[in-house]
Amino acid sequence: MEKVKFALNIEEEWPPVSSESVWCERIGENYKVLNAPFFIPDLAYGDVFSAVPDNVNQHVFEFEVIEQSGHSLIWLMNTGQIEISKELESISELGCKYEGFPSFNLIAVDVPPNVNADALDLIIESLELQEIAVAYPVWRHAELH
């Protein structure tokens, strides 16, 4: 297992960091993602991608997903410091895993292929009603209502 560093494009002061490191497993010349990214769109847990890190700082500037895992990725931003531990517990009970980035009030949710999207949708709707910002940088499940 190794960390792969991705260079991020900052637009209008977002994301708040210029790079993100993601845990990966080397598979020949390629990499398999082992955690849910916080700022890298189009890349989800379990995806296999090809990339050549930059010679100068070892950051990945471009990548190509060569095998989609079937996992989806949801980003949550809790800028109001709202207590959402019950909702996160419910998300976990559905089979999802999540990671937090407390200094930016972010949560990255890994949604495995077998998760009931309708049940997840109800939880996400309740978070949105509490004014939690929600983004779907990678969505490979049936449409949410």
pLDDT bin (cut points 50, 70, 90) of residue 125 is very high
pLDDT digits (tens, 9 = 90+) for 92-104: 999 999 999 988 9
Cα gap 141→145, rounded to integer Å: 12
Last residue of a domain, one of 67, 87, 121: 67
Among residues 49, 67, 85, the one where a domain terminates is 67
Residue 127 phi, psi dihedral angles, 5° rounding: -65, -40
The answer to the question of residue 144 being in a domain is: no
Give the per-residue pLDDT at 143: 56
Tell me the pLDDT tens digit for each residue of 59-70: 999 999 999 999
* Stated pTM of the model: 0.90
- Residue 78 falls inside a structural domain: yes
Q: How confident is the model at residue 79 (pLDDT cuts 50, 70, 90)?
A: confident
For residue 73, what are the β-bridge partners? Answer: 110, 138
Q: Are 16 and 32 in contact (CB under 8 A)?
A: no
Q: Are residues 76 and 128 in the same domain?
A: yes
Q: Residues with Cβ < 8 Å from 4, sequence gap 6 or more?
A: 21, 22, 24, 31, 51, 53, 60
User: Is 143 part of a structural domain of the chain?
Assistant: no
Q: Could you tell me if residue 142 is left (phi over 0), alpha (psi between -120 and 50 degrees) or otherwise beta?
A: beta
- 66: phi then psi, degrees, rounded to nearest 5: -105, -15
Structural domain boundaries enclosing 30: 2-67
pLDDT at residue number 145: 41
Last residue of a domain, one of 20, 52, 67: 67
| The CA-based dihedral angle spanning residues 118, 119, 122, 124, taken in that order and rounded to the nearest 10 degrees | -90
- 45 neighbors 35 (Cβ within 8 angstroms): yes
pLDDT, tens only, 25-47: 999 999 999 999 999 989 999 99
pLDDT of 111 strictly over 50: yes
Res 142: pLDDT: 66
